[in-house]
Amino acid sequence: MAKPLLEVEDLFVSFRGAHRTTQAVRGISFNVGREKVGIVGESGSGKSLTGRTVLKLTPKAAHIDAKRLSFDGIDLLAASERQMRSIRGNRISMILQDPKFSLNPLMRVGQQITEAYRLHHKVGRREAEARALAMLEAVKIRDPDRVYQLFPHEVSGGMGQRIMIAMMLIPEPDLIIADEPTSALDVTVRRQVLTILDELVTRRGAGLMFISHDLNLVADFCDRVLVMYAGRIMEDIAARDLRNARHPYTRALLDSLPRLDRATDMLQVPSRDPAWLDGPTIRSGVAT
Amino acid sequence: MSAPPLETSGTGLKAWLTAPIPASPFQARMQQLSLKWWRLKANPSALFGLAVIVLIVLVALFAPLIATHDIYAQDLGKRLMRPSAAHWLGTDELGRDIFSRLVFGARITLYIALLTAIIVAPLGLIIGTTSGYRGGWVDIVLMRVVDVFLAFPSLVLALAFVAALGPGIENAIIAIALAAWPPIARLARAETLSIRKSDYIAAVRLQGASPLRIILGHVVPMCIPSVVVRLTLNMASIILTAAGLGFLGLGAQPPSPEWGAMLASGREFILTNGWIAAIPGTAILITSLAFNLFGDGLRDILDPRHG
Amino acid sequence: MSAPAANATGAAQETALAVSHLNITFGSGAAAMTAVDDVSFTLGHGEAFGLIGESGCGKSTILRALVGLNRDYEGTIRFRDTVVPRQRDKNFFRRVQMVFQDPYASLHPRKMVQYVLAEPLRIHGFDRHQERIDEILSAVGLGPSFRYRFPHELSGGQRQRVAIARALIIEPELLLLDEPTSALDVSVQAEILNLLKQLRRARDLTYLMVSHDLAVVTHLCERVGMMSEGRIIEEMSAEDVRAGRAAEPYTREFLEASTGYRPAS
């Protein structure tokens, strides 16, 4: 494989509180190439924080430390806020869980997409509008001319998330970080949104960091999966092998899911081993 | 993430306050209180406000011990004296010791503030929560009453009441309370409107609880913190209104060492003997400021949305 | 008396709950929106029935109408062969309780666990408060040491256990579950589902569950009603769901979408 887009080595994120310092991410290393990488874990595992750290969108109290945190040869740790602004949205973009909170409620959605494009490309309004309409079409919105004129409160959840995807993908970023992009959506809508995301990412050869709590979904949707627990990566595994995972935590998570294919009486409740906190990451079945 | 420090180091009180498993409701409440105290301690301006309030309370409590002179004793030979060893803050136009009068004045100010709070808080809470929880015509009627009260500036309203009831400190308190409850009721109502939609209120309704039980047992406790914060912040304006009434001669009556009245009598000499007016004025300023600072700190620790 | 006799599993036990021709409309005139459209179903004693559907299909609206949080409905609701009055009384709440979706919202932030559990006992005039509280805390797997905790000191799973304890302390017969695990992590979800399963057996409870998660509903319930646009379009047994035996196209689509990700064509 070619040189990875994103390289992370020994990343630590800590929060300095009034009484003590909390380690939220504790020494994780991974790469993201032009592929779909899923990051799964339970709440508090540090998965969302990892995504935000890449864009340096962490809260003020957070302290980031890493041996290496680079995107396409750019050292993100050393990058100035000004450099980061040109990277955000342009080269790396982020899709959040609920479009309601990420769209400006006072601006027509079409305008917002147009603005997103013009922010990073020096083109005229006409051309940007045409691009925005084409993008709305690309995210399978049937009547782009009408939707262009709508305000965010007038669109449904699934439509809103498609608009978000359109807005985030229109500057043609190389890396997309999607933080639970479909958790707020119904299952049937979720499928359509994922299909669109999948198509666009694959067609453009971009990289995708897909942060989710849903193991089944990640196993089917992504190429590779990182399983996080308590700020550590427990396992780094090809998605198709996820159901044969080696790490006890991954196994326990899988076993704790109620299944549709057969009846189970009692579900497995994962027991947690403190040794995992310092244990090795299992990469493709091998402890490293 | 914001879990209390769990290590049970230390002995005695500290261990008791940080024990992971409280053994009695009292211990659990004290643990919560100690956490809040910790957070308050991290806020220097609130701590300063609290310290000043505590100081004023102590001064008021021990006024007879602190005062150096009889506050009513006139000595026309020693009128309008500058601060000196005999009279720490000088004397007023009748030769009375200003320091002693100031010390006893703290009693009156706190008396007014406290009594107003005791009248206003329950009144505002009950009317506000009932109005918010019941809705419908109850809400309409109660809120129109509030609107009528809110339509007048509070000092004007207080003036009107005092004019009707006659001047005097008790009447001033009633007048201030009547002007101060509507904002509290408004606040309690607004809080109630969001509280009554919450799942935990639906949950008690589904236990079969009566509206009275829900309002008193579940809605009011949620409103209390913001009302306490609001009242603390309002203390400043209550004290100012009281002083204003005193200044206009409608509150505490002349021989009484009320700060506003002292300020009023010092007004004549403001160009020649400025300190007579400046001293009670500064006392009013510092007390209001202390309540404001403390109120801000309280909001940070009591109100979950600011916490 | 129109209790629909065709019980899908053929269970011949007595009926716990019968809902017939339930209609709920929000708004009026031109803006009227039918949230629940002629819904009928029955629940046998000791049975677990799940209503499943996407957001806005009317499943939660049915629950709210059942417990009387929304009184504007048409149709009849029978509990144990008596039509429940529109204004629910104490006697009803003594026998029907509900567990809410979000344990972070359903517990009063300033009340200790002890108080939360004592209140229903007080309202319904139970005796032996302390013993009952200890007993229910053990039953939901928390233990008496949790009595003096405040909700913010508890994890999501622990809060939901307290909420379940609150519902069960007055020993109701029917428990309504409004997406009881959707706000929780998968491992905590497993704990809560196990607890619900075990409590149902131990206390001979009847469950009516509402969820958007097919796997969760079929895990807990023997029978499932698929809802769409305010109607129950299909009733199936959990076996049918697992085997993928669905008659309606919408149900088939929902089933397929629930089993992971396959690109939509």
Q: Is C106 on the interface with B (CB under 8 A)?
A: yes
The Cα of C96 is separated from the nearest Cα of chain A by a number of Å equal to 25
How far apart CA B61 and CA B191 sit, in angstroms, is 36
User: What per-residue confidence (pLDDT) applies to A137?
Assistant: 87
Looking at per-residue pLDDT, the higher value among B246 and B190 belongs to B190
How far apart CA C144 and CA A20 sit, in angstroms, is 30
Q: In the beta sheet, which residues pair with residue C160?
A: none
- What percentage of chain B carries pLDDT values higher than 90? 30
The Cα of A22 is separated from the nearest Cα of chain B by a number of Å equal to 8
**Average pLDDT, stretch B256-284?**
84
**Average pLDDT, stretch A226-245?**
91
Asked whether the predicted pLDDT for residue B9 surpasses 60, the reply is: no
**Average pLDDT, stretch C192-196?**
94
Asked whether the predicted pLDDT for residue A12 surpasses 90, the reply is: yes
**Average pLDDT, stretch B13-18?**
81
Q: Is B194 on the interface with C (CB under 8 A)?
A: no
Q: Is B24 on the interface with C (CB under 8 A)?
A: yes
User: What per-residue confidence (pLDDT) applies to B17?
Assistant: 82
Predicted confidence (pLDDT) per residue in B80-127, tens digit? 777 777 777 878 778 788 888 899 989 988 898 889 999 999 999 999
Give the domains, in start order, of chain B with CATH numbers.
34-69+87-302 (1.10.3720.10)
Using CB atoms and an 8 Å cut-off, which of residues 135-154 of chain C contact chain A? none
Q: Is B208 on the interface with A (CB under 8 A)?
A: no
Predicted confidence (pLDDT) per residue in A125-158, tens digit? 899 999 899 888 888 888 889 999 999 888 888 8
Q: Which of B1, B191, B199, B212 to mutate to test the interface with C (most CBs of C within 10 A)?
A: B199
ipTM for the assembly? 0.85
How many residues are listed for chain C in this entry? 265
The answer to whether the Cβ–Cβ distance between B1 and A18 falls below 8 Å is no
Predicted confidence (pLDDT) per residue in C103-122, tens digit? 989 999 889 999 999 999 99
User: What per-residue confidence (pLDDT) applies to B303?
Assistant: 64
Predicted confidence (pLDDT) per residue in A149-195, tens digit? 999 888 888 888 888 888 888 888 999 999 988 887 888 888 888 88
User: What per-residue confidence (pLDDT) applies to B4?
Assistant: 45
Asked whether the predicted pLDDT for residue B55 surpasses 90, the reply is: yes
Give backbone dihedrals phi and psi of B63, rounded to 5 degrees, phi first: -50, -45
> Could you tell me the pTM of the whole model?
0.84
pLDDT band per the 50, 70, 90 thresholds, residue B3: very low
Cα–Cα nearest to C69, from B206, B282, A125, B44: B206
Q: How far is CA A171 from CA A73, A175, A176, B99, in A?
A: 20, 11, 11, 73
Predicted confidence (pLDDT) per residue in C216-256, tens digit? 999 999 999 999 989 999 999 999 998 888 899 999 989 88
Measured between CA atoms, the residue of chain A closest to residue B1 is A22
Q: Which residues of C touch B28 (CB under 8 A)?
A: 112, 148-150
Asked whether the predicted pLDDT for residue C78 surpasses 50, the reply is: yes
Domain segments of chain C as ranges: 15-257
pLDDT band per the 50, 70, 90 thresholds, residue A18: low
Q: Which residue has the tokens 């309203």?
A: B157
Which tokens is A107 given?
């601006």
Helix residue ranges, H only, C124-232: 129-139, 156-168, 186-203, 214-220
Q: Cβ of B92: how many Cβ atoms within 10 Å?
A: 26
Measured between CA atoms, the residue of chain C closest to residue A214 is C186
pLDDT band per the 50, 70, 90 thresholds, residue A210: very high
In CATH, which superfamily holds the domain spanning C15-257? P-loop containing nucleotide triphosphate hydrolases (3.40.50.300)
How far apart CA A22 and CA B2 sit, in angstroms, is 10
Q: Which residue has the tokens 């009849």?
A: C76
For chain A, first and last CA: distance in Å? 20
User: What per-residue confidence (pLDDT) applies to C264?
Assistant: 64
**Mean pLDDT of chain B, nearest integer:** 85
Which tokens is A145 given?
């001319």
Q: Which of B36, B200, B224 to mutate to test the interface with C (most CBs of C within 10 A)?
A: B200
How far apart CA A73 and CA A90 sit, in angstroms, is 16
> Exposure pattern of C114-146 as b/e (b: 16+ CB <10 Å)?
bbbbbbbbebbeeeeeeebbeebbebbbbeeeb
Looking at per-residue pLDDT, the higher value among B270 and A126 belongs to A126
User: What per-residue confidence (pLDDT) applies to B304?
Assistant: 54
The Cα of C214 is separated from the nearest Cα of chain B by a number of Å equal to 24
Distance of CA A208 to the CA centre of its chain: 7
Q: Is B41 on the interface with A (CB under 8 A)?
A: no
For chain C, first and last CA: distance in Å? 47
Task: Find the range with the poorest average confidence among B59-63, B217-221, B239-243, B284-288.
Answer: B239-243
How far apart CA C158 and CA C160 sit, in angstroms, is 5
Asked whether the predicted pLDDT for residue C12 surpasses 80, the reply is: no
Torsion of CA A126, A128, A129, A134, to 10 degrees: 130
- Spatial CB neighbours of A26, under 8 Å, sequence gap ≥ 6: A12, A46, A230, A231, A232, A277
The answer to whether the Cβ–Cβ distance between B203 and C69 falls below 8 Å is no
**Mean pLDDT of chain C, nearest integer:** 88
